[in-house]
Chain A
Amino acid sequence: MLSPVILVPAVLNGLLTGAVYGLVALGLTLIYGVLHIINFAHGALLTAAMFAAFFAQRLLGLDPYIAALVLTPLFFALGYCLQRFVIGPAAHGEDRNILLVTLGLAVVIENVLLYAFGADTRTLNLDYAFNVVDLGIAFLAVPRVIAFGVVLVIAVVLWLILSLTDTGKAIRAVAKEKLGAELSGIDVGHIYAVTFGLGTACLAIAACLLIPTYYVNPHIGNAFVLIAFTIVVLGGMGSVTGALFGGLFIGVVESLCGLYLGESLGQIGIFAMFILVLLLRPSCLFGERA
């Protein structure tokens, strides 16, 4: 059972899946790092993005990878408006309220999707979904290899935005010291909304990367967001690199657990890991602070 013939492909598959987990976690950790809120609507927004990618292909014939170019700015705008006009005003500056507002949003989005599309599990059948890259030791599915590459690029782009642009510097300033940032003339409301928009845009990309090999139903986001929470805790709240490496790590854990414990129990490993990290290293693997 430990022969490299299955171990190597399982680890590689885990890394490829983990990259997308990492992207979902990236959005979550960004919003947490700056706004200091847990965005409960993250899963529901991912579901919405997956439905959008699904219907873009079904109704408009847009390939998911092309749809990403349209959906990313669209979801950035959606996230921006949600924070600026719904979450921000409804919260009245209290973190507790923000929590409840995002939870409420999640309930609303999920049920609207349920009402509109029913509980059906839908899948796309794309010609290239079962194409493989032959590495000699393993066959890797083409859509997953593409997803892996795109996630790495997105992570680098995000890192560049945060470290080089004025907006990125403002985001980091607000994350570190909100009052100070406000005093030096940064529009905190705007930066909050931009951050939320970036987090939501990550989801749109993740959705487009997932849809060629995954299915969509109105509750699908929950499965991902639980994993994303684990990754965020594992990688350090608010840490971009932490989210990425945490995602890859969790992907491998899931893949190996699936291999050795069976598909039905595969996710046990993720949550066992979650509890272990909380018990043994609450400051997380990459985080500087708890």
Chain B
Amino acid sequence: MSHWSAQVTRRNLLQITAVGAAAAATGLISAPALLRAQGSPVKLGVLHPVSGALSYSGQQGRLGATIAVEEINAAGGIKALGGAKIEAVLGDAQSTPEGGNAEVEKMNSAGVAAIVGGYASSICLTTSQTAARYDLPYVVDVGVADNIVTRGLKNTFRFGPGFGVIAKTALDNLVTINEQAGQPAKTVMIVHEDTLFGSGLAKLLNAQLPERGFQVLETIPHPTPTRDFNNVVLKIRAQNPDLVIPANYYNEYVLLARTMQQQRVRPKGIYSVLGGAASSYKFVKEFPEAAQYIMDCNHWFDPRNPKALALKKKTEDRGEFYTYEVFMNYSCILLVVDALERAGSAERAKIISALESSTFSGHVMPYGPTKFVSGQNQGAAPVNTQVLGNDIQVIFPQTFASAKPVFPMPRA
């Protein structure tokens, strides 16, 4: 009896050992296989002006991109590349085109698969061109000047709208708002920053405003940074326009609005086209009085999209403001990741053709279907907002407007 049971035990033991060995062997074989498939992480260039005059916007842009990268990596990386993680190569354009260029060179030598960012039009214009020399896919995060995508560069893609589309939408909506209020506004003054973004936009507005029955009294350029808007505001006071249209970056926008408040200059409306601060939660929180009733036609998230609201909460939980740089960059990173998934490769040429055929819909913007025609996303569209109370409300498009426009500004 004891002999028998010993035999059984030995057989069992052998069986167990065999299974164990097989399991161990499988483990040993599969482990390196997994490592090889996950391979080296995919490097993505994340380029923003995080120092210099545009540093606030740059840092916000970097934040949006970083959140997207963290989310992708936490969800298991890029599946088509065996779960390869994304490694963000952060760059600082120092608020100048030259600074941006130097970073593109560095990112190229670091072997990035694509670059996202640039922020300012003047920076995007040069950095995308430099990237084109290396056939390096470049996704413009904001850069609204239209010539960024009309130079025939194969590598350059813009997910957001250009200022041509934005100016058209802004003016269509302005005409509607004005008509609804009984046409109180006839004269306009434009205050713009003097690089590619502001000057180009001002030129566009100067051509289109008269066609829609508005008279442009004066167009005032100013440099970035400007630390004194007294003269500009004096001119506004002297001309007394019905509408002031500012097109500049965050700091100057805030200063202009505050100087107007300080000098008690109150036109019937401040209607910004891509106003740097006009639809920024930071501005509304810090200077609610100066921001009150300001209207803006700008980049805005889709308030019906739960993903956009989740990102808002995530951003605010980090103690940051949910500004357009955040959700634009977040969406752009997701766009590139989608292209990587479909390309099944980190090869630059394959990513470019994947972007060309992109129909990406997992973003947080209120855009139509994604379709790139010579680098420009045809679905991209701006949104009209107005600062009402301590919040920013959507006033156009009507499909998801949360408030009616208040125009002209009530007298205090």
Q: Which residues of A contact B (CB under 8 A)?
A: 1, 3, 5-6, 9-10, 13, 17, 118-121, 123, 125, 130, 132, 139, 141, 213-215, 217, 255, 258-259, 262-264, 266
Contacts and interface: CB of A to CB of B under 8 A. Distances in A.
Nearest to A3: B238
SS of A interface (majority): mixed
A215 B255 CA distance: 12
Nearest to A122: B55
A259 B234 contact: yes
Interface in B357-377: none
B231 A263 contact: yes
Contact of B238 (A1, A13, A120, A132): A1
Contacts of B264: 139
Contact of A215 (B51, B225, B231, B232): B225
Contacts of B53: 121
B235 interface: yes
B231 A264 contact: no
Contacts of B251: 121, 123
B291 to A, nearest CB: 13
Nearest to A130: B262
Interface residues of B, number: 30
Contacts of A17: 228
Given A214-B227, A215-B225, A5 B237 contact: yes
A9 B261 contact: no
Interface string B238-276: 100000000000010000001101111000000000000
Contacts of B286: 125
A125 B160 CA distance: 32
A19 to B, nearest CB: 14
B341 interface: no
B230 interface: yes
5 contacts: A17-B228, A119-B51, A139-B262, A262-B221, A263-B222
B230 to A, nearest CB: 5
Contacts of A213: 227-228
Given A10-B234, A255-B230, A264-B221, 17 more contacts: A13-B228, A17-B228, A119-B94, A121-B55, A123-B227, A123-B251, A125-B286, A130-B258, A132-B262, A139-B264, A213-B228, A215-B227, A217-B52, A263-B221, A263-B232, A264-B222, A266-B231
A9 B234 contact: yes
Given A3-B238, A262-B220, A118 B262 contact: no
